[in-house]
């Protein structure tokens, strides 16, 4: 495994891409592509035999749960699904106690929850690697899958124009940092009051300046998408924001990724969405089902991205 031999990430937490260098991010992307090829060639590769991943879910999941569980199995390990309501943490046990106890049973913990601070506290008290499967602030595992998808289709990362249209949410935060670190020109279009957090914007700007990328924040979707190589969106109302759904639909109406908007992008542009998608809202059915959509390649690549992360740090 040539890419695996390059990585020196054993024992590391995977909480946010701000903690990873551009070279480390690219290594994970290339490892994911290599593991994908091995899977397609029918080659068995099981570096995690005898290892167990605990998966704590306080937010529901399709892709994260299934891809991590399948990924651990394919790498020779075992995954335990731990519903937060079934753990003592759901009855008020301090997370620092949960972290120290589970560290004595498991080889790693994946957690999908609301508060990013909770994940950081889990990592502080655990003696094993912690993987952030999504918080309200970041979704770093998804971005490794996204970068794998982009490299697969565009054969490069640096120098590409990446446009994101929609809510300045956890996906926006992680995409800004990840894409800036690998040298992309990142354009983010959000309504004025739904922009990404200023401190994370500052981190992304710094990353862009250091790595030959650019960062543009705008309220104009057309400005973001013009001549873009990648057009990306996400749901307008994330988990926990269901009560705001109707008002958000009105505010975000002009931020829909439809054919008219896509026509402003590069003719060879690809369309991405991390799913679940609400067709007719943030993206139209004809675009997500169209020839430029790589949404289901992107979903498949969650498996290969997660295997790369697991193989590298456990």
The CA-based diameter of the chain, rounded to the nearest angstrom, is 55
Catalytic residue among 234, 256, 273, 304: 234
Tell me, yes or no, if 187 is annotated catalytic: no
The residues with which 271 forms a beta bridge, in sequence order, are 231, 293
Structure token digits, residue 234: 């996400």
Residue 104 designated active-site: no
The Cα–Cα gap between 151 and 145 comes to: 10
Q: Is 136 tagged catalytic?
A: no
249 is catalytic: no
Q: Which of 139, 248, 273, 306 is labelled catalytic?
A: 139
Catalytic residue among 12, 302, 304, 306: 302
Out of 63, 112, 116, 187, pick the active-site residue: 112
Catalytic residue among 27, 58, 74, 142: 142
142 part of the active site: yes
Query: How many beta carbons lie within 10 A of that of residue 258, not counting itself?
Result: 14
What DSSP string runs through 6-54? H---TT--BS-GGGS-HHHHHHHHHHHHHHHHHHHTT----TTTT-EEE
Residue 10, C-beta contacts closer than 8 angstroms, at least 6 positions apart: 312, 313, 314
Contacts of residue 239, Cβ cutoff 8 Å, sequence gap at least 6? 59, 60
User: Known catalytic residue: 304?
Assistant: no
Give the residue numbers marked as catalytic: 112, 139, 142, 234, 274, 302
């Amino acid at each position: 495994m040539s890419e695996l031999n390059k990585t020196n990430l054993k024992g590391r937490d995977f909480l946010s891409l701000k903690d990873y260098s551009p070279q480390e991010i690219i290594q994970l992307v290339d490892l994911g592509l290599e593991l994908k090829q091995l899977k397609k060639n029918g080659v068995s590769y099981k570096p995690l035999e005898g290892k167990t991943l605990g998966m704590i879910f306080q937010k529901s999941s399709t892709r994260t749960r299934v891809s991590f569980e399948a990924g651990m199995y394919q790498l020779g390990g075992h995954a335990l699904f731990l519903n937060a309501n079934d753990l003592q943490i759901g009855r008020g046990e301090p997370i620092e106690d949960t972290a120290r106890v589970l560290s004595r049973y498991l080889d790693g913990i994946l957690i999908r929850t609301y508060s990013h601070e909770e994940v950081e506290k889990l990592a502080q008290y655990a003696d094993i690697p912690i993987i952030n499967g999504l918080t309200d602030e970041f979704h770093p595992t998804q971005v490794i899958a996204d970068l794998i998808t982009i490299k697969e289709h565009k054969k490069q990362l640096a120098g590409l124009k990446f446009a994101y249209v929609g809510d300045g949410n956890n996906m926006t935060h992680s995409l800004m940092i990840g894409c800036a670190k690998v040298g992309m020109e990142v354009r983010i279009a959000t309504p004025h009051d739904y922009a990404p957090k200023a401190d994370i914007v500052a981190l992304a700007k710094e990353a862009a300046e250091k790595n030959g990328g650019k960062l543009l924040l705008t309220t104009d979707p057309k400005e973001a998408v013009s001549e873009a190589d990648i057009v990306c969106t996400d749901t307008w109302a994330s988990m926990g924001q269901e009560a705001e759904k109707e008002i958000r639909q009105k505010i975000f109406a002009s931020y829909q990724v439809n054919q008219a908007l896509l026509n402003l992008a590069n003719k060879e542009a690809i369309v991405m969405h991390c799913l679940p998608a609400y067709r007719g809202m943030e993206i139209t059915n004809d675009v997500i089902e169209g020839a430029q959509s790589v949404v289901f390649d992107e979903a498949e690549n969650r498996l290969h991205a997660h295997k790369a992360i697991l193989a590298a740090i456990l």
